[in-house]
Structure 1
Amino acid sequence: MSGPTLYDIDVDVLFEQRSIPEIEEVQKRVQSEIEKKREELRTMVGERYRDLLKAADTIAGMKDTSATLITQIQNITTNCTSLNEKQLLGFQTKPKQPLVPDRELHSYYSTVFQIKLLTSLPEMIWSRIDEEQFFLATQLFILSRHISTGLHLDVGNKVIKHFPVAKKQWETLKPFFFTIKQNALCALEKDTLTPEAATDCLLSLFLLEQSSMDGILTTFLQIRAKSYLAALSSDKSAQRRVKDRILSSLEVLNSSVLLIFKCFIDSGNGKGLVVEKLEELASDKAEPTISLMDLDEMDMMYDLPDIIAKFKPTFEMPTITPTMLKSVKDTWLQTVSKIIENQLRNLFDLVSSMKTIQEIKHQSSKLEKDKNWSEMCEKLSLPASLDFYQHYYRPLINSRVRDIVRQSWSKAVSSTHNDIESLLTSSSIAKISENNLKNLWKENVGDIPVSLKQALQQDKKNNKLLMKSKGFCPEIVDICASLDNRLKTIFSEVNVLLEEDSSGQTDEKQSMVNFLKDTSEDCISELITGIKSMEFDRKQDTCILLARLFTAFADLCPHLKLCLSHTYVASNWDRISSDKKNYEKWNRVCALFDDEAFAFWKQFCETFAEEMGPEQIISNNIGIETILNDFTSWESINIEEKDDQDNAVQSTIRVPSQPRISVQFYVFKLIYSLNNSIPETLPRRVLHHLNSILATKILALYGKYIENEFVATNQNAALQLYFDLKFFQLVFLARDDKKVQDEIQRLTNALKNFVDPFDFELFHSYLNGNVKKCAQRLQHELGVLIPYPENVSILADQKPSAGAQDRDPNVLCLSSNGAVSTWFPLLPIITPGSKTGTMSNEGEKGSGAKSKRQSDTKLTSSQSSSSLASAQQTAQNYASNVRSGAAAFFGAMSQEWFR
C-alpha cells in the first residue's frame, strides 16, 4: 500500500477486506509515517527558531550600525558643504554677494559640461579596459570620482536640481573600481606577461587602493604564485598535456623573476618601471587627467573650474627597501616550494614514459634566460645563478624516473608471478611432463635454423634444439621471453635518458645506472621470494619445472644481464665494461638462481631417492637361497704355475664378473625411472647429490650385510659383496665425496677381513679388472648416472683431458652444464683390454690349494682365460688396423685432396 493512500484508510473496511498479516503491515507503515512526520516537525521548528534568533541578533546589530553610520554621514555632509563653499567662493570670509548674471551663466555651463563628462566617461573607461590599458582607465575613473564628488557637494547649485542624472551617474561609474581591479589582477596572472603590461596593472592597483610599494609587491608575488599554480592545474576548457603544463610552469617562474627585477628594481635606467611611471605622473610637466579624454566640445574647457581642468592624481612616492624586498621574496619562494612539493610532484606522477621525460628535459634546456640573469639574482638577494630547473625540477624528474623503473619492474615481477601460478596448476604440470617426455628427443622441422641469419642470432630462445638439450619446455621459454620483453622495455626507456647529449651530467647518469642495478637486484629477490611462497604440490615434476625455470632465468633473459652488469660510458652507455666490479650484481643474481634451482633439485632428489630406495629391490638378508637366486655366474680363470720340481701345474680360480642380479635390476630400474622423470638432462651437481643420497642408502644396506653371520663365514658371499661395492664406487661416486668414500672404504675393508688374505691377494687384480670391464659394457646405459667425466676416463683406462673437446671440435656435445663437461656419452667407449700377466712362482705355489677349495662351490665357469686372451688379441689387432687405415686416409687427403 503506497504512502498517500495511508491517510484515506477506512478501518472498518480494512478489517473486512484484509487479512491479519496485511493489517499488521499497514500498522507498521502508518507508525513509520507518524514517526517521520514527527521528525520533520521537530526539524522544521528547530530551524525556524534558530533563524528567528539569528535574525533578532542581526537586527539589533544593524540598528547600532545604522545609528553610527547616520551620525558619520551627517558629519561628512557638514564638512564637505563647508569645504565646497570655500572652494567655490574663492575662500571668501565676507558675507556672500549676489552674483552677476555672467557669473550665473558661467556656473550653468560649467555644471552642464561636468555632467557631459560624467556621461562620456563610462564608454571611455570601457574602451581602455578592453584595450588592457588599465592605468589610463584608472586615471579616468579617479577623474570621474572627483567630478561626481564635486557635483554632489555643490548643494546650492540650482542647475543640478534640473539634471537628476548628475547624482545618478555616479552609481554607473562606481562599479568601475572593482571592474578595473579585477581585470588588472587577471592580467597579472597570465603566463606570458611583459614588464610593460605588468607595470600598467601594478600602477592601476596602486592608484585605486593608494597602497604602499610593500603592499603592491606582496600582491604581485601572490598573484604570480597563483599564476604558477594555475599553470600546473588542468584547464577544463582546454585539456593541456602534462608536458606542456610542466614547461609552462617553469616559464612562469623564470618570467616572474624578470618581472620583479624590471618593475621594481631596474628597468635599465637604475629605477623600476613602477617608480619611473609614477615620477612621470607626479612631475610638473605631466598633462592633467582630462587631457586623456577625446572630446569634441574642448572649446568649453574654459568653463570648467581649475580644480577639475587641472586635476591630476595625488599620491606619496613609494620606496622599496632591501629588507622589505628580501622578506617578500622569501615568502614567495616558500609558497613556490610548497606548490612544487604538492602539485608539481603530483603532476610528475602522471608522466608514464621516459620519452616524455626526455622531451621535458630537452625543451627545458632550450628555455632562454635573460643575459643579465646572474646580476638580477644578486640584486634580488636570490642564490647566485638561481636555476629553477636544476634546483626544483631535475630532482623531481630523477625521482620520477626511479619511480617508473620501480613500477615497471614491479609490474614485470607481478606478471611473471601470475604466469608461474597458472603454470603450476596440476593439469599444466601433467601436460608439460607428458609433452616433455615425448618431444624432448624428438626432432622437429622447426628445431633447426632455416637460415644463417637465424642461426647466428644471439637470442638462445630461438634455438629450439638447444632448448630441448637443456630441458627447457616451451612454457618455460615463454615465461622467460615475456619477462625479458618487459625488461627490454625498462632498459630501452632508461637508455633513452642516458643517450641524451648533455654535458656535466655523468655522475647523474651513473647514479641512474646504479639505481637500475640495485632495483633489478631487489626485484629479482622479490621474484624469487614470491615463487617460493606460492602454494603448490611439491611433486617431482613441479620441483623439476621450477629448478629449470630458475636456471632459464639466467640463460634466457639477456636484458636482465644488461640491467645488472652494464655501466655508463660517455656516448655509449650500454657497452659492457671490462671491470669485474660491474659483474658483481649479475654474478650474485646468477649464484642466487643456482642456489634456488639446486634447492628444488634437492627436493626432487630426496623424493626420487625415497621412492627408489634399494631396500625395495635388493634383499636385506644374505643366505644360501640368496646365493642361488641372486648371485651371477663367476668367471673361471686358468692359471699355470710350477711346482717344486718345475712341473707345469694348471689351476682354475673363480672371481665375480658382474654385480648381483638384484643390484643390476635395481640399477636399471633406477636408470629407467630417472629417464622417465628427467631424461638425460640432469645437471652434474644434482646428479652428484642424487648419487650421494642413493649411495648412502645402499651403503646402509650393505652395512647390515657385514653384521650377517653368513657373510662373515662365507668367503664367496664376501667377494661378491666386495665386487658390488667396488662397482658402485666406480660408477656412482666421485673422489671428492670424502664422507661416502670413507664409508665405502670401511665396508670394503670389513669384507676383505672375511676373505683369506692369500686368496684376496690373488683375486684382487682380477676383481678390479672385472669391475672395469663390467662398467665398460654398461657404460652407455649407465651414462645418466655417471656424474663426472673422470669416471668415464677411468672406465676407458685413460687419463681425463680438459682439452679433448678443443682438439676434437667435431664431436657434438648435446647436453652440457658447462664448457668442459658432458652429462652422458654419445657412444660407448671401445678400448682394447689389458693383457693378463703371468703370475710369479711364489703366487703359483699357493694358488692350487685355493683354487681347489673354490671349485667346491656351485658356481659355474663363464669364460676361460684362453678365450679371453684370444678376444683381447683380436680386438687389439682390429684397433691397430683401424688406426693405420685412418692415418693413411687422412695423410693422403692432407697431401693430395686439398691441393
Structure 2
Amino acid sequence: MAKFNINLIDLDVNKLFEERSIDNIIQLERLLDSEIEKKRNALRSTVGDRYKDVLTASDAIKSMKTISQDIVDHIDKITSTCGNLLLAPSNVDLKSSFPIGKNKLDERTFVVQVRLAIFLNEQIWLALDQENNLDAAQYYSLAQYIHTGLGLSKKEFLDKIPYLEHIRNQKESLKNRIFHKITEKLESVETTAEDTSKNLNALLLLQNVTCENLLSIFIEHRKTALSTVITTSYSSVRVQVYSMVKCLITTIHLLHHCFICYGGSDKGLIWQQLEEIVSESSPKTLSKLQLPASSLLLYIPEIIKQFRPKCNFSTDVVNSLKEAKSVVECWLQCTLVTVEDGLKKALQLITNIKGLHLTREESLKIDLPENWENICKESHLPEHFDVWSYFFQKFITLRCRELITKKVSENTSQIQNCISYTLDQVLKLGKSELDLRWYSWVEEPGDISRSENCHRGLSMKTRGYSHNIIELCKKVDDKYLALLEDASQYLYGKEYNDGMNFIVKDFKFKRKFVDRDDIENHLRNECTTTSVSISDYILSSLPHSSTDSDLVTKSIVGARFLEAIFFLCPHFQQCCSLNNVTDKWPKVCSRFSQASNTLWENWLEIEVKQTEMICEKLHDISQTKMISIYTRWDEIEIQEQTDDEEVFKSQIRVPLKPSLTLSEILDHLNENLSKVLPHTLPKKIYLKYIEKNASVILSHYKIFAEEDLNQKQALQFLFDVKFLTAFCVPRENSHLIGLSQDICDKFRSKVDPFDLDVFYPYLQSNVKRAVGQAQVILGCLLPSPHHLASLGIYEKNKEQEQNPSLLALSTPSSTTWFSLLPISVPTSKFAAGQLTSKKSTKVRLFIRALSQ
C-alpha cells in the first residue's frame, strides 16, 4: 500500500475508475477504511480525556432520574396508607380494644416519646423563626424532660434507635440557638417591654437564674447594646448619637416596665408573664402544641402531659428589686464612661457648631414615654433625670467649646495673614498711606448714597479709613460673621441676624439651651483674647521694616486699622459682647487704642526727628540770615506829653509777624499733620505732636537766648517764642509754659528796659493779632478748638450782635465752620489817646539827645 502516494482527501472518484484497475481500487478502499478507523479511535480518546466528567455526570443523572421516580412512588404509597389509617375512629380506646402485653406497651410509650422529641425540635425551630423565644424555651424544657425520661428506658429500646443520640445533640444546638436569639433581642436598640419580658423569662426557664440576678443580667445586656451602637458604623454622627440616646431611653423604659410596675399593677411585666407560665392555674406545656393526629398519642405518659416549667420566685424577691438602687447607680456610672469614650471619637468628626446643633436637634426629637418623671423616680434615678442632659450634654458642650476655640484660632491666624499681606501691599502702592489728602479730598460717585453703607462714602473719608483699611476690616468682620452664623442655631435655634434676642419659653427650650450661657461666655472670652493676638502681631511685625518711611507707613496703617475695628467690625463686637454683655468690648477697645497709640508714637518720633533737622536753620543768626528771615515790622506812632503840656510825636517799630524761619517750620509741621488728617488722630497723639515739636523749637530758641543778640533780634525772637507759646502750647502744659517764660525773660533782658516798657504792649497786641490771623492757615497746630478763647479772639462786639445783617462769617467763632481769612495789614500809625507818663517822656528825650 506504500505505492499509493496520493492525497486521500482530494480523491476524484470518476478519474480514479478511469485511471486505475479494480485491484488498485480495492486496495485503495481498504486504505481508506484503515484511516477512518484511526481517526475514530483518536476522537474517542480525545473525548474520553476531555469530557470524562461530563459523560459520568450524564450517566449519574439518568440513574438519579430513575431513583427519584421510585422515591416519589413510595411516598405516594405511604401517603395513601396514612390517609387510610386516619379514617379510623379517633375516639376508640385502642388499649382496651386491643389488649397488649407489658413489653409492647413500653415499646409504644418509648416510640411516642421519641416522636415527641423529634416533634419538639421542629416546634422549637418554628418558634425561633417566628421570634417567639419564650415558647421555644418552654418547648426546650419539655424536650429536656422527655429526654430525661428516655434515658431511663430499657437498653434494648435505646439500642434499636441509635438516631436518638442525634436528636439529643440537635436539642443542645437548639438551646444555643435560643440563647443567641434571646441575646439579640435583649441587646436591640429598640424593643418593647413585652418582648424584653418574654426573653428574660426565657432566660429564667433555660438558665434557672435567680430573680435577684435577673436585673444584673438585663443591665449587662443593655450595656452591650449601647456598646454595639457605639462601635457600629453609621451614615453620620447625628444618626449614631440618636441611636445612643434612643438605646438609653429604651433601657430606662424597659427597666421600669419589666421589673417595677406595668399596666397599673404593682408588679413588673416579667412577673406577670411568669405567673401565667409556672403557676398552678397556667396551661400545661404540651397543651400549647398542636400534635399531629396519631393513635400513638394515647401512649404519652401522664407525667409528660402534666408538665409545666418550674421557677421559684416570691413577692419578697420582687419587692427587693424595687430597692436595687445600687445596681442603677452602678449602671449610671458605667454608662457615663461608655458614652464618653464613644462620643469622643464620634464628635471629632463634627467640624462645625451647626453640626452639633443638628445632632442635638435629632436626638431631642425622641419622644419620652408617658409619665417619664414617675418612671425615673420609681427606677431610683436622680431627680429631674434627663438622658440627654445627664449623659450627652456635657460632652456636646465641651466639643462646642473646642470648635469655638479652634475657629477663633483659625480666624486669628487668617487675620494675621491678611494684616501681613496688607502691610506689604501698602508699600508697593503708588498712593501712599502717609498722605491721605488724595483720598479724602477727591470726590467719588459713591461718596453719597441713599442706602446706608458703613464701608464706603464720606463717613470713611472723614475718619481717614482708606480702601486698604476698609477691605482689611471687612475680611476680619466676615470671619466673625461666619462664626456667629455657625453658632447661632446652636445658641438660639435660628439663623443669625443683627437683632438677636432669646427668650426661654418652656422646659423644652431650657433643656435644649441649657449650656447657652457657658458657650456665650466662652465665645466672648475667646474673641476678647483674639484682640491681644491681633494687636501684638501688628506691633511685632513692625521691626522688620527697613526704612523710616516703611516703618511709618506700616505704623499708620496698623494704627488706623485698630481704630477702624471699632466702627467697621460690628460682628466682631457682637462676638465680644454677646447677649448684651457690656464689659468685654470696652476692654477690647481700650487695648486696641493703646496699641494704636503705640503705633502712632512711631510716626510721632520720626516727625520730631524731622523737626529737629529743620530747626537747624534757626542756628544761623548772622546779619545776612536775619535780613532774610525778618518780616515787615509794624510802625506805630505814639504821642508823648511833657510837663508843660507839650506833645511830642514819635514812631516805634515792633514785630508784626513771626520770623520766616519759624513760619517755615510751622508750615512744615502743619503740612505733615494735614497729610494724616489731624481730626482723625487720637487726642493724646495729637497733643503730643504739637507739644513735642513745640518743645524742640523752644529748645533751639533757648540756645539763642544765651547768644549775644542785638535788640532787634531779641524782639523778633521774643515775638516768635510768644507766638509759638500762644498758638501751640496748651495752658495745661506747665512745663512748656515755664520753659517759654524763662526764654522770654532772657530775650526781654536783651532789650532796653525803657524801650521794652513801651514796645511790650504793642508786641503783645501784635502776637494776639498774628495768632488770630494764623489760625486759618495753621489751624491744625491748635491744641484744641477753644485754645484761643483766652485771647479774646472769639468775642463779638455788641454792634455786630445787634445787627442781623452781618453774616456769621464776619466774626471768628468757635462754632462756625469757616474762620476769617488772615489779614496782614499793619495797625494804624496813630494810637489815639495813648500817652506816656511824664517820667517816661523825659527819659525818652534824654536818650534821643544822646543819640544825636
SS in structure 1 at match of 2:832: coil
**1:746/1:418 Cα in 2 relative to 1: closer, same or farther (>3 Å)?**
same
CA distance in structure 1 between the partners assigned to 2:838 and 2:778 by the alignment: 37
Given the superposition, is the C-alpha separation of residues 418 and 851 from structure 1 closer, same or farther in structure 2, using an over 3 Å criterion?
A: farther
Match of 2:786, SS? helix
Q: Distance in 2 between matches of 1:148 and 1:518?
A: 75
User: 2-side partners of 1:297 and 1:524: how far apart?
Assistant: 91
1:251 aligns with 2:251: no
Q: Does the 8 Å CA contact 1:143/1:311 hold for their aligned counterparts?
A: yes
User: Given residue 283 of structure 2, which amino acid in structure 1 is its aligned partner?
Assistant: E
Verify the 8 A CA contact 1:229 1:339 in the aligned structure 2. Answer: yes
Q: Which amino acid is 1:315 matched to?
A: C
Deviation at residue 625 of structure 1 after TM alignment: 4.3
Q: Distance in 2 between matches of 1:616 and 1:426?
A: 34
Matching residue of 2:565: 553
Quote the offset at 1:748 in angstroms.
1.1
Distance 1:590 1:811, change over 3 A: farther
1:520 to 514, 527, 534: 527
Alignment map for 1:593-608 (pairs within 5 Å): 593-608=592-607
Residue 747 (structure 1) aligns with: 743
Deviation per CA, 1:181-208: give whole Å up to 9, x if none.
Answer: 1221111122221111001111122222
Listed as ranges, the gaps of 5+ residues in structure 1 are: 1-99, 568-575, 577-581, 801-809, 813-819, 858-899
Q: Does 1:766 align with 2:729?
A: no
The residue that corresponds to 1:65 in the other structure is none
Structure 1 match to 2:459: 466
Pairing 1:476–2:469 present: yes
> What is the DSSP-based 3-state SS (H/G/I as helix, E as strand, rest coil) of the residue aligned with 1:597?
helix
How many angstroms does 1:381 deviate by?
2.7
Cα distance, 1:811 vs structure 2: 11
Return the alpha-carbon distance in structure 2 between the equivalents of residues 350 and 705 of structure 1: 77
> What does residue 167 of structure 2 align with?
169
CA displacement, residues 578-626 of structure 1 (integer Å, 9 cap, x when unaligned):
xxxx533332322222221111111210122113315654232544444
| Letter in structure 2 aligned against 1:305 | P
User: Which residue in the other structure is 1:529 paired with?
Assistant: 536
Query: Are 1:614 and 1:698, in contact at CA under 8 Å, matched by a contact in 2?
Result: no
1:277 aligns with 2:273: yes
Q: Which residue in 2 is equivalent to 1:838?
A: 832
Partner secondary structure for residue 296 of structure 1: coil
> Cα 1:198–1:490, aligned 2, differ >3 Å: closer, same or farther?
same
Q: Is the 8 A contact 2:639 2:834 kept in 1?
A: no
- Inter-CA distance 250–475: structure 2 relative to 1 (3 Å threshold): same
Give the superposition deviation at 1:683: 4.2
Match of 1:424, as an amino acid?
A: L
Aligned residue for 1:654, secondary structure, equals: strand
What does the per-residue CA deviation read over 1:789-808, in whole Å, with 9 as the maximum and x for residues that have no partner? 123556781159xxxxxxxx
- Structure 1 position 735, deviation (Å): 1.4
Other structure's SS at 1:640 match = strand
Distance change >3 Å, CA 724–CA 438, structure 1 → 2 = closer
Give yes or no for contact 1:278–1:317 (8 Å, CA) kept in 2.
Answer: no
Q: CA deviation at 1:751?
A: 1.6
Kept in 1, the 8 Å contact 2:416–2:537? The answer is yes
Say whether 1:265 aligns with 2:263: no
SS at 2:324's partner residue?
helix
Structure 1 length-normalised TM: 0.72
Root-mean-square deviation over aligned CA pairs: 3.7
Structure-2 separation of matches of 1:359 and 1:855: 106
Quote the offset at 1:175 in angstroms.
1.6
Larger radius of gyration: 2
Number of the residue aligned with 1:721: 717
Query: What is the CA-CA distance between 1:840 and the residue it aligns to?
Result: 3.7
Q: Is the 8 Å Cα contact of residues 139 and 313 (structure 1) preserved in structure 2?
A: yes
Task: Give the structure 2 partner of residue 340 of structure 1.
Answer: 339
- Cα deviation code 1:45-70 (max 9, x no counterpart): xxxxxxxxxxxxxxxxxxxxxxxxxx
Deviation of 1:460 after TM superposition, in Å, equals 1.7
* Counterpart contact for 1:780–1:828, Cα < 8 Å: yes
Structure 2 residue 379 is matched with structure 1 residue 380: yes
Q: Deviation of residue 419 (structure 1)?
A: 0.8
CA contact (8 A) 1:354 1:494 kept: yes
Name the counterpart of 1:180: 178
Structure 2 CA distance for aligned equivalents of residues 256 and 834 of structure 1: 104
> Following TM superposition, by how much is the alpha carbon of 1:540 offset from its aligned partner in structure 2, in angstroms?
0.9
C-alpha displacement of 1:631? 3.3
Tell me, in whole angstroms, the C-alpha distance in 1 between the residues paired with 2:222 and 2:361: 25
- Change in Cα spacing, 1:679 to 1:791, as seen in structure 2 (3 Å) is closer
**Aligned in 2, Cα 1:183/1:833: closer, same or farther, shift over 3 Å?**
farther
1:315 CA drift (Å): 3.4
Letter in 1 for 2:836: E
Give 1:295's aligned amino acid: L
Matched, 1:503 2:499: no
User: Structure 1 residues 597-606 or 252-261, which shifts more?
Assistant: 252-261
User: Does the residue aligned with 1:655 lie in a helix, a strand or coil?
Assistant: strand
Q: Once the 2 structures are TM-superposed, how far is the Cα of residue 784 of structure 1 from its aligned partner?
A: 2.8
TM-score (norm 2): 0.75
Once the two structures are overlaid, the 10-residue window that deviates more, 376-385 or 740-749, is 376-385
2:223 to 222, 225, 229: 225
Deviation at 1:152, TM superposition (A): 4.8
* Partner deviation per Cα, 1:668-696 (whole Å, 9 max, x = no partner): 23334444566875444322111221122
Corresponding residue for 1:54? none
Shift of 1:371: 3.9
Contact preservation (8 Å) 1:654, 1:851: no
**Which runs of 5 or more structure 2 residues have no equivalent in the other structure?**
1-98, 493-501, 797-806
**Mapped partners of 2:763, 2:164: distance in 1:** 138
Q: Which amino acid aligns with 1:548?
A: R
Residue 702 of structure 1: aligned partner: 701
* Residue type at the aligned position of 1:527: I
Q: Deviations over 1:403-432 (max 9, x none)?
A: 444443333322211211222227646556
Task: Kindly state the Cα deviation for residue 508 of structure 1 after the two structures are TM-superposed.
Answer: 6.3
Larger deviation, residues 391-400 vs 294-303: 391-400
Q: Shift of the alpha carbon at 1:218? A: 1.0
Structure 2 counterpart of 1:585: 584
TM-aligned CA distance change 1:702 to 1:118, over 3 Å = same
Q: 1:229 & 1:752 partners in 2: Cα distance? A: 98
Which stretch shifts more, 675-684 or 124-133? 675-684
Map Cα deviations across residues 686-736 of structure 1 (whole Å, 9 max, x no partner): 22111221122212212211222x13xx22221111111112112322112
Distance 1:126 1:847 in 2: 144
Tell me the CA shift for residue 503 of structure 1. 3.0
Query: CA offset at residue 332 of structure 1?
Result: 0.9
Indicate if the aligned counterparts of 1:615 and 1:701 stay in contact, CA closer than 8 A: no
- Aligned partner (choices 280, 296, 299) of residue 303 of structure 1: 299
For the residue of structure 1 that corresponds to 2:101, the secondary structure is helix
Partner secondary structure for residue 636 of structure 1? strand
After superposing the two structures, state which structure 1 stretch, 511-520 or 757-766, moved more.
511-520
Tell me the CA shift for residue 551 of structure 1. Answer: 0.5
* SS of the residue 1:743 aligns to: helix
Give a deviation string over 1:778-834, Cα, whole Å, max 9, x none: 43331332231123556781159xxxxxxxxx999xxxxxxx999x97665468998
C-alpha contact 1:134 1:204 (8 A) present in aligned 2: yes
- Kept after mapping to 1: 8 A contact 2:562/2:596: yes
Instruction: Summarize deviations over 1:830-869 as a string: whole Å, max 9, x none.
Output: 6899877435433587479769989999xxxxxxxxxxxx
Give the residue type in structure 2 aligned to 1:227. Answer: A
Secondary structure of the residue that 1:588 maps to in structure 2?
Answer: helix
**Residues 106-115 or 205-214, more deviating:** 106-115
* Counterpart for residue 78 of structure 1: none
Give the Å deviation of 1:334. Answer: 1.1
> Distance in 2 between the 1:246 and 1:598 partners?
51
CA displacement, residues 89-126 of structure 1 (integer Å, 9 cap, x when unaligned): xxxxxxxxxxx963333333333333333333343222
Q: Closer, same or farther in 2 for the Cα pair 1:837/1:546, shift >3 Å?
A: same
Q: Secondary structure at the match of 1:787?
A: coil
Partner Cα separation in structure 2 for residue 372 and residue 429 of structure 1: 72
Distance 1:234 1:766, change over 3 A: farther
Q: Aligned to 1:652, what secondary structure does the other structure show? A: strand
